[in-house]
Amino acid sequence: MMTNSHAGGRHCARRLRHSLLCGLLLLCAAWATTASAAVSEPQARALLQALDTRSFEAKGEAAQAIADSQASQKTRWLQALLDGRLGKERRGEQFYIVTDDSGREWPLIDAITFAEAGSGSRRTVDIFKINNDLRTQLQGMIASLSLAEGDERSRLAAADRLIGDVNADNVESVRASREREESATVRDRLDIALALYRVQQGDATALKTLKGNLDTRVRNTLTTVAAGDGELASQAQQVLDGIESKRAWYDRAQTLFFGLSAGSILVLAAIGLAITFGVMGVINMAHGELIMLGAYTTWLIQQALPGQPGLALVLAIPGGFLVAGAFGVLIERTVIRFLKGRPLETLLATFGLSLILQQLVRTLFSPLNRRVASPEWLQGAWQINDALSLTLNRLGVLGFCLLVFAALWALMRYTRLGLEVRAVTQNRAMARAMGVRAARVDMLTFGLGAGVAGLAGVALSQLTNVGPNLGQGYIVDSFLVVVFGGVGNLWGTLVAGMSLGVINQVLQPWVGAVLAKIIVLVGVILFIQKRPQGIFAPKGRVS
Amino acid sequence: MTTTALRKLIATAALTTTLAGFSAPLLAADDGPIRVGILHSLSGTMAISESTLKDEMLMLIDQQNKAGGLLGRQLEPVVMDPASDWSRYAEQARSMLTGDKRVDVIFGNWTSASRKAVLPVVEELDGLLFYPVQYEGQESSENIFYTGAAPNQQAIPAVDYLMGQGVERWALLGTDYVYPRTTNEILEAYLKAHGVADDDIMVNYTPFGFSDWQSIVSRVKDFGSQGKKTAVVSTINGDANVPFYNELANQGIKASDIPVVAFSVGEQELTGIDTAPLVGHLAAWNYFMSVDSDANYDFIDAWVAYTGNKDAVVNDPMEAHYIGFNMWLKAVESAGTTDVDAVKDAIIGVTVPNLSGGAATMMPNHHITKPVMIGEIQDDGQFSVVWQTPTTVAGDAWSDYLPASKNLISDWRAPLRCGKLDVERMVCEDGAGAN
């Protein structure tokens, strides 16, 4: 069994390479595919019947037979097989395509006539299974079937797969394709593939083309070449050194991005706390749960707008702010204002509140995590080059964090509320004497801090699990950031959050995630010993 | 009649009356319900996984009661909530096993930490515990029955499968606690025994609930781009998996480049993830919801009807409880009593059907036989089985690949009765036979 599948894997890989090459040649030569004529029903049945086997190798051959056949349905069959929707009646001879496999009862169509064929379930329809090798193989077949309308993008993909895969058998045809190719980018790829082949054959002049190339296949091939001896090896080593040092720079850039992204999450989680704890001096242990409420708001809005995760996410920004803010005002009115100046009791009361909020969510929405979908524009990565790519969801959160920070800073700096908050912070009695309604300012400030926590929840819903325990993981980190940055200072929170994020990510590859966190914690404790006021000392009243 | 005879007669009569007086309440207790303890967390971090097992046990007990109960008596569930707090598992197991309302058997626990906390309690109070989750092995208790997989029933076959697929480089990622650490230790020893170089193995541990996977995934990507076919073996536990898989998808790591085989990710965990970008990543279990057998379809239908949720999923630990519960029923029936010692003896060798169309047998080391399956993630959140052992595999309590345990076996049958027997020196280190 084991050896079989091993051999099967190699076999498939060879076949894949073969079909890709064929595809590329087809493409570049712009051969028109012969129009497929329909096959008779028994023939179609026989083609499908061949798929009904347990061996993936045999299934691959059956799929290849379909691809090579004249059947007009073949693209749809292969696509359905790839999607896991092609199957056979369990106790019968009918072949079906499942048109919608989301429920437990599936609507079916006949695989040969495409006529509607009632419904079925796992019990009645045996879906043809595929594995990783077969999946790759099928993708290759479907790609080469649609080559006639193959655009530059698919030619580029085919050329890309050739890097490291050029050999004596196909080198001439690749050269021919390179001559015919019109697109410069595709030509560059083919040049690299050919140069790599020439280097493998001992041609040192081809090394020039490979200079500074970041593709890992180029690096791996050169490593093998450089391991030999002679002039070629030392020249290859030089090129390799250049590649490695270039990669090292991109690695540093990537670590910096990872750090800023981790930092932006810390800043988002902490900045609401910087307002409630830093400005008002309230130790709010329920801050994490306010973040959780923001995340659940995102989920609820997505439930209300099925199929539109992007719109839901945009609406969740004001939604999360308002829901968490309303809870914040409620907490301030009912609990915190009665405990003014009694920090220990505030701490205990808000800790109790956090447990109540968690259990509330657990009872209302079940203890299971909820899935918040990411809109398409936050999925995947921005591929800058072969060595550097930035994931879009992290990039989005980083941008969002900076926006929230800017808005908050402007609010504190330029609005009447901001002025009043600063006045109350600096001297409460004096501010009241000047006619500022301190109680109202307290309520609004707390509501603002809570609302910003809700915004953090909206952002976190894109990165981590939305569940009742979401907030717990961020409360300690948030206090850490606020204390490190300097209590009552927004800039301090930004700088502290970002630097802790970067330090953590720089340490992580060396010492592991657990130890990195410990080192950061010890570092902050030592720093606070030396400089109790944090990075930025608070201006005005020091409490 | 002599006076002596008369005295004897009176004494006998008195004795009989006293005995009758004693035995009446004893008989009455035997007429009452049989208590089945359910010790799964219904709140806290583990509630995600464990609360479904509680519901499943209630369903199984309900079905059995409708079918006439056990030994003519009804089964009564006793549910407690240890709230994901390991020491509370021990306290609650103690309260289940003491007093008038002592339970006859306990089905419970998920994490190894909680099992280790309960172990001394069930041994001291002579209880029975059925533990349904795959675990790290290196343990065999007289009072615990391990219906989940031991490493040789999950981790080792999964690695074998990947070796067959041409994998030469291994990233072992895990959550930082006893199960991943022990499993990875065994796997490292196994891989090195199969000629894998130190440089081709990368080990990394992360805390519970970890969510910032970007730099680790990026390291794996780098590790996997050195020209050798690479796979990730994941013992990442709980909800840390969701951000991990999301990060894999976002950084564009496809199953055809670097497949990830997971030992703690099942249907339940996938309900929180968009599986379209993960198609082809693997999991190794002894049961998948997509398995084709009538027993499985019936079980799923019953579960959907019981929960009233048409999207309800079932998973491997649920199958383990299904098997464990049926084994216990059969053992009690053949022993004719719920007495712990009698059931312990009767259950060894008991065979019941599993959900994948085969059968499971309780072995003398308190582990069971299971088929090993490798499934690939599909875009509907299910797994499609791509490989399966031709026969069932018996669980091995003590790993053969670690130097410290390679000579150890466990056999709880009389006259050996030993959970840790060194076969080389023939010394029993733990169990009734240890003296």
Judge contact between B71 and B34, C-beta under 8 A.
yes
Q: Look at residues A147, A178, A194 and tell me which one is the last residue of a structural domain.
A: A147
Is residue A203 classed as helix, strand or coil in its secondary structure?
Answer: coil
Judge contact between B323 and A157, C-beta under 8 A.
no
b/e code B179-197 from CB counts within 10 Å (16+ = b): bbbbbbbbbbbbbeeeebe
Q: Cβ–Cβ contacts within 10 Å for residue A55, how many? A: 12
Residues of A in contact with B211 (CB under 8 A): 463-465, 473
- Closest by CA position to A462, among listed A383, A365, A375: A375
Q: Which domain holds residue A50?
A: 2-30+37-147
Higher pLDDT, B290 or A227: B290
- Number of structural domains (chain A) is 2
- Closest by CA position to A422, among listed A331, A481, A479, A490: A490
Whether B205 and A514 lie within 8 Å, measured CB to CB: yes
Interface probe for A, chosen from B85, B212, B278 (most Cβ of A below 10 Å), is B212
Query: Could you tell me which residues come within 8 angstroms of residue B370 by beta carbon, excluding any fewer than 6 positions away?
Result: B149, B153, B286, B287, B354, B360, B392, B393, B395
| pLDDT at residue number A127 | 87
Q: Look at residues A124, A147, A170 and tell me which one is the last residue of a structural domain.
A: A147
Average pLDDT over residues A388-410: 93
Smallest Cα distance from A175 to chain B, Å: 25
Smallest Cα distance from A530 to chain B, Å: 30
* Residue at A268 is within a domain: yes
Judge contact between A78 and A138, C-beta under 8 A.
yes
| pLDDT at residue number B47 | 79
pLDDT band at A533 (very low <50, low <70, confident <90, very high): confident
| pLDDT at residue number A290 | 95
Tokens of B326: 């049926």
Mean of per-residue pLDDT scores for chain A: 84
Convert the pLDDT of each residue in A358-377 to its tens digit: 989 988 987 777 888 889 89
SS3 content of chain B, % helix, strand, coil (to 5): 40, 20, 40
Measured CA distances, B89 to A463, B35, B55, B136 (Å): 32, 18, 18, 19
| pLDDT at residue number B374 | 94
- Which H or E run includes A109? strand A106-110
- Closest by CA position to A186, among listed A209, A154, A214, A143: A154
* Residue at A313 is within a domain: yes
- Closest by CA position to B139, among listed B429, B413, B433: B429
Judge contact between B407 and B394, C-beta under 8 A.
no
Judge contact between B261 and B158, C-beta under 8 A.
yes
Whether B166 and A389 lie within 8 Å, measured CB to CB: no
Among candidates A136, A255, A473 on the partner chain, residue whose Cβ is nearest the Cβ of B256? A136
- Say yes or no: A441 and A297 in one domain: yes
- Say yes or no: A470 and A338 in one domain: yes
For tokens 């020039």, what's the residue?
A: A208
Which alpha helices (DSSP H) does B104-213 contain, by range? Answer: 112-124, 155-164, 178-193
Return the bridge partners of A278, or none.
none
b/e code B1-26 from CB counts within 10 Å (16+ = b): eeeeeeeeeeeeeeeeeeeeeeeeee
Domains and CATH numbers, chain B: 34-149+294-369 (3.40.50.2300), 153-285 (3.40.50.2300), 403-435 (no CATH)
* Residue at A186 is within a domain: no
**Side chain identity at A64, as an amino acid letter?**
Q
* Residue at A291 is within a domain: yes
Q: Look at residues A102, A126, A147 and tell me which one is the last residue of a structural domain.
A: A147
Taking only Cα atoms into account, the Rg of chain A, rounded to an integer number of angstroms, comes to: 31
- Closest by CA position to B146, among listed B132, B158, B156, B157: B132
Tokens of B42: 């219904």
DSSP secondary structure letter of residue A215: -
The pLDDT > 70 percentage for chain A reads 90
Q: What is the CATH number of the domain that holds A397?
A: 1.10.3470
Average pLDDT over residues A62-82: 86
Where is average pLDDT lowest: A199-203, A300-304, B1-5, B113-117? B1-5
Q: How far apart are CA B211 and CA B245, in angstroms?
A: 10
| pLDDT at residue number A25 | 47
Whether B384 and A391 lie within 8 Å, measured CB to CB: no
Average pLDDT over residues A318-330: 96
Tens of pLDDT along chain B (435 residues) come to: 455 555 555 555 554 444 444 444 444 445 689 999 999 998 777 777 888 999 999 999 999 999 999 999 999 999 999 988 999 999 999 999 998 889 999 999 998 989 999 999 999 999 999 999 999 999 999 999 999 999 999 999 999 999 988 899 999 999 988 889 999 999 999 999 999 999 999 999 998 888 889 889 999 998 998 888 999 999 998 778 888 988 998 888 888 889 999 998 888 888 767 788 888 999 999 999 999 899 999 999 999 999 998 888 999 999 999 999 999 999 999 999 999 999 999 999 999 999 999 999 999 999 999 999 999 998 888 999 999 998 999 999 999 998 888 899 999 988 888 989 888 888 888 876 655
Convert the pLDDT of each residue in A454-486 to its tens digit: 999 999 999 888 888 888 888 988 999 998 988
Q: Is the pLDDT of residue A184 over 70?
A: yes
- Say yes or no: A281 and A133 in one domain: no
Compute the Cα dihedral for A153, A159, A162, A168 and give only its sign: positive
Among candidates B163, B243, B255 on the partner chain, residue whose Cβ is nearest the Cβ of A463? B243
* Residue at A215 is within a domain: no
Convert the pLDDT of each residue in A10-25 to its tens digit: 444 445 455 555 444 4
Among candidates A122, A367, A381 on the partner chain, residue whose Cβ is nearest the Cβ of B250? A381
Asked if this assembly's ipTM is beyond 0.85, the reply is: no
Measured CA distances, B413 to A319, B144, B323, B341, B370 (Å): 64, 14, 21, 12, 21
Q: How far apart are CA A500 and CA A508, in angstroms?
A: 12
* Residue at A395 is within a domain: yes
| pLDDT at residue number B433 | 63
| pLDDT at residue number A18 | 53
Tokens of A360: 């509330």
Q: Closest chain A residue to B173 measured between Cα atoms?
A: A512
Q: How far apart are CA B295 and CA B355, in angstroms?
A: 5
Sheet of strand B373-377: strand arrangement: B201-206, B169-175, B230-235, B260-262, B282-285, B373-377, B383-388
- Say yes or no: A137 and A257 in one domain: no
* Residue at A344 is within a domain: yes
| pLDDT at residue number B5 | 58
* Residue at A242 is within a domain: no
Among candidates B205, B211, B256 on the partner chain, residue whose Cβ is nearest the Cβ of A463? B211
- Say yes or no: A359 and A480 in one domain: yes
Q: How far apart are CA A349 and CA A286, in angstroms?
A: 9
